[in-house]
Amino acid sequence: MVTETGESFKGFSKSTLDFLKNLKANNNKVWFETHKQDYQEYLLKPLKDLVMDLSSFMLSIDPYLETKPAVNKTISRIYRDTRFSKDKSPYKSTMWIIPASDLFLS
């Protein structure tokens, strides 16, 4: 399926894994801001493509699922909530997708 980015999901590249590994080793704002374009290209874009490719199938299971590829909807945020955590690392070094029901997102 062609996605909103104009492509279909082709898997994650070595650059995706390298970005996550480097983020884990350099989990700070300066490093992330310097590599934000890498985040968008190697991690966020493939996740959006994956969500779009899965959307038809997921909607066939439950037509109320949210399948729009959006951060904090179907794609996890990269920013961590550190308010109540001992670990004050500002960024997650893992990401996930979840097709949530519109009934629970309102």
Q: What is the pLDDT along the chain (106 residues), one digit of tens a residue?
A: 554 556 799 999 999 999 999 999 999 999 999 999 999 999 999 999 999 999 999 999 999 898 999 999 999 999 999 999 999 999 999 999 988 776 555 4
pTM of this prediction? 0.84
Provide the pLDDT for residue 43: 97
Provide the pLDDT for residue 99: 83
DSSP 18-86: HHHHHHHHT-SHHHHHHTHHHIIIIIIHHHHHHHHHHHHHHHHH-TTB--S--BTTTB--SB---TT-S
